[in-house]
Amino acid sequence: MRTSNHLIGLLNFLTFVLSIPILAGGIWLSSKANSTECLRFLQWPLIIIGVAIMVVSLAGFAGACYRNTFLMWLYLFVMFFVIVALIVFIVFAYAVTDKGSGRTVPSRVYLDYYLQDYSGWLKDRVAEESYWEKISSCVRDSKVCKKMGRIVGGVPESVEMFNLRKLSPIESGCCKPPSDCGFSYQNETVWTGVEGMVLFNSDCTNWNNDQSELCYNCDSCKAGVLASLKRSWRKVSVINIVVLIILVIAYVIGIAAFRNNRRIDNEEASGEARMEKARPSWIHS
Ligand SMILES: *[C@@H]1O[C@H](CO)[C@@H](O)[C@H](O)[C@H]1NC(C)=O
């Protein structure tokens, strides 16, 4: 075996190892309860790319070990599309999670979330009536709001303590009314308004102390889901970018090594041909 074959084998092994964090990222996204679980379709591209890299690397590895040119060609061919898919996926992930973040609220540590701060394709999907029904029932089933409750000395934590909490976007958007409603705190998920109050935010009327309603139909909940998605997608994108860079380097080296192999093959072939031609004249001389 040639050195370049060892190199290709090594590179394939490396890309094989690289497919593991991508797969892990996809599985992490799908296992994360209460946010992305409710938007299942989003982690599939990642899992497919991870599996593709894994399979293709194995093919390349076998191709390099057994000097199988077909497998090597297949590897280089398919890996090209995997790299393109990964680039598309990274660009897509950034594009759909481009805009929007939580708003700070005076004397609160947690942020409030407003749907009008978000825009684009993902927002339209999440806000779509039929789609939101599925997502919100998923958030409800995840019991994230119930898990938010803290008991201190037999009673719910005080409002002062609650104001100092760092809430996840889902907890803030879906489990409590927006702060600008001015409701008064009873516990994390029970808030009372004052009769005849003027409300500027439509979410305030959507709020319901019924523990199966809460703010699940609020725009703030949709914004919370979007913010939560953005966070986890950004994390996964960091892994993807690192993997992409290593993959491209491995690919370029792989092509160089493959061409080098072919050049040596060709030279040997033409060298043998030359010797074959030359032989009769040696015999005669
Ligand atoms: C708040 O109180 C209500 C009614 O007592 C209760 O059903 C709910 O579980 C409490 N919320 C939390 C988060 O503990």
In tens, the pLDDT along 202-227 reads: 899 999 999 999 999 999 999 999 99
Question: Which pLDDT does position 282 carry in this prediction?
Answer: 46
pLDDT at 71 over 90: no
* pLDDT band (50, 70, 90) for residue 37: low
Angle, nearest 10°, between helix axes 44-65 and 69-96?
A: 160
What mean pLDDT is predicted for residues 17-41?
A: 71
Q: Give just the sign of the alpha carbon dihedral 141, 143, 207, 35.
A: negative
pLDDT at 285 over 70: no
- How much is the mean pLDDT over the chain? 84
What mean pLDDT is predicted for residues 263-274?
A: 74
Best of 148, 162, 165, 189 for a ligand 1 pocket test (most atoms within 8 Å of beta carbon): 189
Question: Which pLDDT does position 19 carry in this prediction?
Answer: 85
What mean pLDDT is predicted for residues 96-105?
A: 86
Distance from the alpha carbon of residue 189 to the mean position of ligand 1, in angstroms: 6
What mean pLDDT is predicted for residues 111-139?
A: 91
What mean pLDDT is predicted for residues 11-26?
A: 83
**Coil, helix or strand at residue 184:** strand
What mean pLDDT is predicted for residues 121-143?
A: 89
Q: Is the CB of 255 under 6 A from ligand 1?
A: no
pLDDT at 273 over 70: no
* pLDDT band (50, 70, 90) for residue 173: very high
Question: Which pLDDT does position 236 carry in this prediction?
Answer: 79
Question: Which pLDDT does position 2 carry in this prediction?
Answer: 62
Q: Cβ neighbours of residue 23 under 8 Å, at least 6 residues apart?
A: 46, 47, 50, 51, 54
* Proportion of the chain above pLDDT 70, given as a percent: 89
pLDDT at 278 over 70: no
* pLDDT band (50, 70, 90) for residue 34: very low
pLDDT at 275 over 90: no
- Range with lowest mean pLDDT among 111-115, 188-192, 257-261: 257-261
Q: Is the CB of 190 under 6 A from ligand 1?
A: yes
Best of 211, 213, 214 for a ligand 1 pocket test (most atoms within 8 Å of beta carbon): 211
Place of tokens 């407003």: 114
Q: Cβ neighbours of residue 112 under 8 Å, at least 6 residues apart?
A: 102, 103, 105, 172, 173, 178, 179, 180, 220
Place of tokens 């803030």: 172
Question: Which pLDDT does position 203 carry in this prediction?
Answer: 92
Best of 188, 190, 208, 210 for a ligand 1 pocket test (most atoms within 8 Å of beta carbon): 190
Question: Which pLDDT does position 218 carry in this prediction?
Answer: 95
pLDDT at 121 over 50: yes
What mean pLDDT is predicted for residues 67-94?
A: 86
pLDDT at 240 over 90: no
Distance from the alpha carbon of residue 188 to the mean position of ligand 1, in angstroms: 7
pLDDT at 186 over 50: yes
What mean pLDDT is predicted for residues 264-271?
A: 76
Q: Is the CB of 271 under 6 A from ligand 1?
A: no
Range with the largest mean pLDDT of 20-34, 59-73, 226-240 = 226-240
CB 114 within 8 A of CB 223: yes
Question: Which pLDDT does position 159 carry in this prediction?
Answer: 93
What mean pLDDT is predicted for residues 143-149?
A: 91
